[in-house]
Amino acid sequence: MRGILNFIQDILSTPAIFVGLIAMVGLLLQKSNVQTTIKGTIKTILGFVVLTAGANVITGSLEPFGNLFQLAFHVNGVVPNNEAITSLGLSEYAVQTASIFALGMCANIVMARFSKWKYIFLTGHHALYMSCLISIILSIAGLDGWMLIVGGALLLGVLMAFFPAIMQPSMNKLTGDDTLSLGHFGSCCYWLSAQVGKLFGNAAKKNNKEVRSTEEINFPKGLSFLRDNTVSIAIVMFLCYIIVAGKAQFTDAAAAAEIFGGTNWVISSIIQSVTFSAGIYIVLAGVRLIIAEIVPAFRGISEKIVPNATPAIDCPIVFPFAPNAVLIGFLCSFAGGIVGLLVLILLGNTGLAAALILPGAVVHFFCGATAGVFGNAEGGIKGCVVGAFIHGVVVTFLAAALLPVLGSLGFANTTFSDADFTIVGIIFGNLAKVVGGTGLFVIIAVIYALPILYNYTLGRKKEA
């Protein structure tokens, strides 16, 4: 039984295979011929493989940057990392996580079928991370057996529909239609960035001023080459790298050399910055492949299983709509993370904060860039800059607030990074301390049932 569960978990947690299967089901439901089904399935898998490869390239180029930052500025603390804490959780809660993961996917489909939240969450690895968080919290609350698995699946199912739902208005504005939704557990801060952007957008409209997008930045004629996103991203990242690497080199040359892998620090900065830009290029290519295949294939699921369903896909899906905002969002979110760290240091000196949350380059790139894209969609350049900066500050404090909860659960040295994980962990982790296991199960069941009941009662009255 455990082997079967592990096999199902491997399939569902591998984005390329999982989304490829979804595409295949959609094409089969449309009664597409064998050639079209094979082609669509393979190209969807290929798109996710390309996207993942690009994400790995970006992550690999950012890891030395984070290490150099800590070395250069003598800061020690916790770097939030979803993968690290999930791997720790799985060592003790593997069966519970796998069971919640598999049944949670079914709960998501049921929610999409019978509520107004018509979103099917396709970001398998994020669903796995959330399953692990939920299994830890519910286990500590005293739940076990079928109540833990069913309760966890219901909670996962409603979260997989709710978070894409809150982002859909901004997704519609960004993409121009409702064929795609965002399936990424950083949505609370993306929503916040979009609301900040709206403030700037509304203010500009009130004063009869045009909202200027990041994609409309005009470069002087002599700098026209910066209009090429791959070039401008490489140059900006080189400036960031050379400053941090230079400071690290003159702070501790031996330790810096180990991070550089024996390569000259200037040469390493050039290579890593260009590698980062190459990663962005690869991600965008993968996203284009996915969009071209998954949207038509998903029509079969939308027509046969869940009418009007929308696929909710990983955050890089929004990057092609505003490449300049991606870079600006990353830099501003990282700056917000530094400000958040400084505030935590000050609070720590007064005894009000116990943990320092270091700005992780990966979370500030993927989540900060996404926040920048949505801030730009609603409020142009100002929305992008301020929205992403606020994202950086907020995720820092959320991670710090979650750390004591996880510490009480036996995970004191790490924490989740993305906003939705931290918010769910803070709410249900603290709730688990005051509500008995059965009470928590009832609360989760009610939360899951409410959107469905609303759809068949008040929702229908409003339509009438």
Q: Which domain holds residue 378?
A: 2-463
Distances (CA, A) of 412 to 80, 97, 409: 12, 20, 8
* Number of domains the chain is built from: 1
Rounded to two decimals, the pTM is 0.81
User: Quick check: 224 pLDDT over 60?
Assistant: no
User: Quick check: 344 pLDDT over 70?
Assistant: yes
- The letter for the amino acid at 330 is F
Q: What are phi and psi of 316, to 5 degrees?
A: -60, -10
Mean pLDDT score of the chain: 83
What pLDDT is recorded for position 410?
58
Question: What is d(CA 464, CA 454) in angstroms, rounded to the nearest whole number?
Answer: 14
Q: How confident is the model at residue 98 (pLDDT cuts 50, 70, 90)?
A: confident
Mean per-residue pLDDT, 212-217: 83
- The letter for the amino acid at 341 is L
DSSP string, 98-127: HHHHHHHHHHHHHHHHHSS--EEE--HHHH
User: Quick check: 333 pLDDT over 60?
Assistant: yes
Q: How confident is the model at residue 136 (pLDDT cuts 50, 70, 90)?
A: confident
The two structure tokens encoding residue 151: 């309760």
User: Quick check: 351 pLDDT over 80?
Assistant: no
Query: Quick one: CA torsion of 417, 421, 427, 433, rounded to 10 degrees?
Result: -80
User: Checking DSSP bridges between strand 310-313 and strand 181-182, what pairing results, if any?
Assistant: parallel
User: Quick check: 223 pLDDT over 70?
Assistant: no
What pLDDT is recorded for position 460?
63
Q: For the sheet containing 181-182, what is the strand order? A: 119-121, 310-313, 181-182
What pLDDT is recorded for position 397?
92
CA 449 to chain centre: 26
More confident residue, 181 or 459: 181
* 252: DSSP letter: -
Question: What is d(CA 24, CA 112) in angstroms, rounded to the nearest whole number?
Answer: 19
The two structure tokens encoding residue 172: 């519609």
